[in-house]
Amino acid sequence: MTAEALVADIDVVMADNRFPDFVQPICEAARARGIPVIVDGDRVTQLDDPLAIASHVVFSSEALRATTGRSDLAAALKRAAAAIDGFLAVTNGPDAVLWMEDGAVRAMPVFAVEAIDTLGAGDTFHGAFALALAEGCDPITAMRFGAAAAAVKCTRFGGISGTPLRAEVEAFLTASST
C-alpha cells in the first residue's frame, strides 16, 4: 500500500520520531493532502527529520533539551523554531506547556492534580491533542484538551489502561472551569 493510500480517508496523522525513514513518506503524503501531521518529539533527533514536514510538533522537555543542546526550554524552543516551520510546543510534566507564537514563547499552565502514575501521560496528551485538531480545534484549545486528558490519566495507575474516556476529560474540563 502506498503512503498516499494510507492517508486517503483520514483527518490527522500522528507519528513519533523514532522511525523517521518509515514515517516520512506518510507525513509527506498527508501534508500534500492538507491533513494535520503531529509529530511527538519524544526522543533526541535531528531538526530536519519528519519534524520539518510536520504541521505540529510537540516535544517532551527532555527530548527538546537533548535535541537542541539548550537546557532552558524557552531558548530550546527558539532554537528549534529556526528549523521547524509548523506549530511548535513542549510539554514539561507538571509545569506549563510552552509554545511558539509569532516569534515569542507563550505558556499555558497545566492542571494541578495529585499524580499517582505518569506512565503514558505524554502519549495521552498527544492523542488528545491530535483528536482535537482533527475535530477542527485551534492548537491552543487542542493543547488544553490534551493537558486535561494527561492530567486525568496521571490520577490513575497504569499506562494505557489509565487513559481516560472522552466524557471523563470533558467532565474534568467542565469542573476545572468552574
pLDDT at 50: 62
At the topology level, CATH places domain 1-109 in UDP-N-acetylmuramoyl-L-alanine:D-glutamate ligase (3.40.1190)
Sign of CA dihedral 128, 120, 106, 33: negative
Q: Which residues belong to CATH 3.40.1190.20 in the chain?
A: 1-109
Query: Percent of the chain scored above 70 by pLDDT?
Result: 97
pLDDT at 52: 78
The arrangement of strands across the sheet holding 13-16 comes to: 13-16, 37-41, 56-60, 87-92, 95-101, 104-108
Q: What is the mean pLDDT of residues 32-58?
A: 86
pLDDT digits (tens, 9 = 90+) for 96-117: 999 999 999 999 999 999 999 9
